[in-house]
Amino acid sequence: MRKRVMLFAAPLFVVAIAASVAVASPSDAEHSRGPRLDRLHAVRPIAAASSIATASEVEMAEFERDATAIQNYVRDQWLTSLIVGDYIASVMASEASQAAAPRQVARSVYSSSNPGDVLSCIRNRESGGDYGVYNSGGSGAAGAYQFMPGTWNSIAASAGRSDLVGVDPAQAAPGDQDAMAQALYAQQGSAPWGGAC
């Protein structure tokens, strides 16, 4: 934060110093008035001294006014940089906390109105999503949806997929298993799987 402030404030201080030097140095017009003032000293020393004091007082007042304006500008810029810096820091902290927060896993609501959700539920419940699994109890059920061989052959024939009749469900492609589960669900709902989903 300090580096950012210094990077912002350093050029402003250089400008302020340059402006004060420019204001303090006499102009060409003042140099051209020099000889006339010298002649006034010879003729009317009091008038010359009075005008010189007035001119320097005016220059000093202008210098002080300019210096005050520059100081106010630098102060305003510094305060703005602090406000902007605080804002940037708060945004960065917010983004960091969001990135560090654990992601919430959305749970699907299974319903018969969306068979994809129901089939996902059945697949996870029956096999944990493993398309190549066999029933460990020896029932003969296989695949992601734990098709019995007879049910598999029957649904494949009724769905017009004679190419899948006689195929081991666990050896069928995942897309074919999903298609057969969709066809069975369309005919019988979730009853073949116990209606749990």
Q: Domain total for the chain?
A: 2
In this structure, the answer to whether residues 9 and 95 fall within a common structural domain is yes
Helices then strands (H, E): number in the chain?
Answer: 6, 0
Kindly tell me if the per-residue pLDDT of 159 is higher than 70.
yes
One domain, residues 94 and 148: no
For residue 52, the enclosing domain spans 2-100
Q: What's the confidence (pLDDT) of residue 108? A: 35
What is the rounded average pLDDT for all residues in the chain? 76
Is the separation of the CB atoms in 144 and 174 below 8 Å? yes
Residue 110 lies in a domain: no
pLDDT above 90: residue 178:
yes
| pLDDT surpasses 80 at 49 | no
Residue-level pLDDT at 113 = 44
Last residue of a domain, one of 54, 74, 100: 100
Quick one: pLDDT at residue 112? 41
**Whether residues 131 and 89 fall in one domain:** no
- In this structure, are 119 and 185 located in the same domain? yes
Residues 91-112, mean pLDDT to the nearest whole number: 59
78's tokens:
């510094």
How confident is the model at residue 96, as a pLDDT? 78
93 band by pLDDT with thresholds 50, 70 and 90: confident
Residue 42 in this model has a pLDDT that exceeds 80:
no
Q: Are residues 145 and 88 in the same domain?
A: no
Q: Determine if the pTM surpasses 0.75.
A: no
Which range, of 19-28, 111-120, 174-183, averages the lowest pLDDT? 19-28
Residue 181: which residues within 8 A CB-CB, separation 6 or more?
119, 122, 123, 144, 145, 147
Read off the pLDDT of each residue in 38-52 and give the average, rounded to a whole number. Answer: 52
Among 70, 100, 130, which residue terminates a domain? 100
